[in-house]
Amino acid sequence: MADAPLLEFRQVSRFYGRGEAMIRALHRVDLSIRAVEFVSIMGPSGSGKSTSMNIIGGLDVPSSGEYLVQGIPTTNFTRTQLTLLRRHMLGFVFQGFNLLARTSAVENVELPLVYREMPPRERRKRALQALEQVGLKGREGHTTQELSGGQQQRVAIARAIVTDPAVLLADEPTGNLDTKTSREIMDLISRLNRDRGITVIMVTHEEDIAAYGKRLLRFVDGRLTSDEMRVREAEHVH
């Protein structure tokens, strides 16, 4: 299994509903992603990109086909096993930040470590390190309301990386941000991929944001219609 892809879809389909009301969200998708890749996913609404991300993230399961993690089929994983997969291997960043209001930045970042039952002192140390890594040293005690949108997304990224995940799943991570802040957030995500070796899988509607990835997948009507390697254009912009 040493040479197995980190993540793999084998003929994955996902259907919702039955009969005439059935929605075919994914149709027999084959896909493999290796460690330390930076993969951008694009496609119109309803194309299957979010369903793919949900399956990769252990938030949904295929109707047919197989989803493998490090060569291990997840088909018969229990809900507990899927939770452990999310908790120990994956980090999530969303468009809406999903931070706790009236709670400090450091407490937000500590949350995944609370679920791991890490001792408070170690938890606080790790959270402060993660906030420093995303450029928020000195803002640890600020609540969500006291932070800008870009700072809130940095807190969300710190929360995602505090567990040292193998994979960062980013769903429209710049969707609520202006152009300058979007570029700062994408530079940060690119550094995590390059310097910490975190595999990044990102859904976006924006071509310039997708250009940060080294590989671009396009979905249309539940099918993977193109898979191309790219020179990371963003590296030539600055």
Whether 193 is covered by a domain: the verdict is: yes
User: How much helix, strand and coil, in percent to the nearest 5, is found in the chain?
Assistant: 35, 25, 35
Residue 186 within any structural domain of the chain: yes
Contact, 213 vs 38, CB < 8 A?
yes
Total residue count of the chain as it appears in this document: 238
Q: How far is CA 57 from the centre of its chain?
A: 8
Instruction: Report the pLDDT averaged over residues 14-34.
Output: 94
Answer yes or no: is 93 within a domain: yes
Residue 224 lies in a domain: yes
CA 87, chain centre distance (Å): 13
* Domain encompassing residue 135: 36-51+79-237
Express each pLDDT in 88-142 by its tens digit.
Answer: 899 999 988 999 999 999 999 999 999 889 999 999 999 999 999 999 999 999 9
Reply yes or no on whether the pLDDT at 234 is more than 70.
no
Segments in 78-228 forming alpha helices (H):
79-89, 105-115, 120-133, 149-161, 179-196, 207-210
| Residue 116 to residue 28: CA distance in whole angstroms | 35
H or E stretch including 50?
A: helix 49-56
Is the pLDDT score of 1 beyond 70?
A: no
In a domain, 10, yes or no: no
Written as six digits, the tokens of 191 are 């550094």
Residue 154 lies in a domain: yes
99 within a domain of the structure (yes/no) = yes
Percent of the chain with pLDDT over 70: 96
CATH number at residue 93: 3.40.50.300
Half-sphere exposure of 55 (CA within 13 A, CB side): 29
Q: Please tell me the distance from the alpha carbon of residue 67 to that of residue 177, in angstroms, as a whole number.
A: 33
Please count the structural domains in the chain: 1
Q: How many other CB atoms are found less than 10 A from the CB of residue 80?
A: 8
Instruction: Note whether residue 163 is domain-resident.
Output: yes
